[in-house]
């Protein structure tokens, strides 16, 4: 189990849109030097779904080289709700916001309210949603998905539904 501080870090790009591995290594090293216990790459800050498989592997290699044995961890497009190129449209205009979005996410605060270290709270929220008992209830919720990760690819997922 991971413990400590594992910040999500951005992928760095050059002006020609190529990955800037030197700048990533420099920035990742700043995190390690500041005492972080690992880093999370390729996804949670927006650019992840647009990266190719090869680019993700290259970023992972850069991060692992800097992390020196500390954890490097690598999820809407990855779960199949939309294609990577559709992500902007999918979330635009409140598409993932409670209460009126097409796919309300993090109704109990998600990583802001529970964090990954308290992931069981996210499972409790998922169950409350299908029971109709959440303080941030999605009207008519029949299914609720709780995903553990973080980032690409999700480490585990559980889908709750009404019977």
Residues 6+ apart with CB under 8 A from 42: 11, 48, 51, 56, 59, 60, 74, 151, 152
pLDDT, tens only, 57-80: 788 889 989 988 887 766 455 566
Q: Phi and psi of 82, rounded to 5°?
A: -160, 165
CA distances from 150 to 16, 55, 93, 115 (A): 29, 19, 24, 10
What average pLDDT score do residues 86-103 get? 73
When mean pLDDT is compared over 15-29, 41-55, 96-110, 149-163, the highest value belongs to 15-29
pLDDT, tens only, 102-129: 878 777 765 555 555 556 777 888 899 9
Report the distance separating Cα 30 and Cα 67, nearest Å.
11
A 10 A CB-CB count for 138 gives 20
């Amino acid at each position: 189990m991971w413990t400590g501080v594992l910040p999500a870090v951005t992928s760095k790009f050059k002006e020609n849109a190529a990955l800037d591995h030197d700048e990533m290594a420099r920035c990742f090293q700043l995190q390690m030097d500041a005492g972080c216990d690992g880093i999370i790459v390729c996804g949670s800050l927006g650019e992840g779904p647009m990266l190719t498989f090869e680019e993700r592997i290259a970023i992972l290699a850069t991060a692992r080289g800097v992390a020196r044995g500390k954890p490097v961890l690598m999820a809407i497009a990855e779960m199949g709700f939309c294609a990577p190129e559709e992500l902007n449209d999918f979330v635009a205009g409140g598409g993932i916001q409670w209460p009126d979005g097409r796919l309300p996410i993090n109704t109990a605060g998600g990583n802001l309210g529970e964090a990954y270290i308290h992931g069981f709270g996210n499972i409790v929220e998922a169950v409350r949603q299908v029971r109709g008992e959440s303080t941030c209830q999605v009207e008519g919720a029949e299914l609720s998905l709780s995903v553990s990760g973080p980032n690409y690819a999700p480490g585990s997922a559980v889908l709750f539904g009404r019977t």
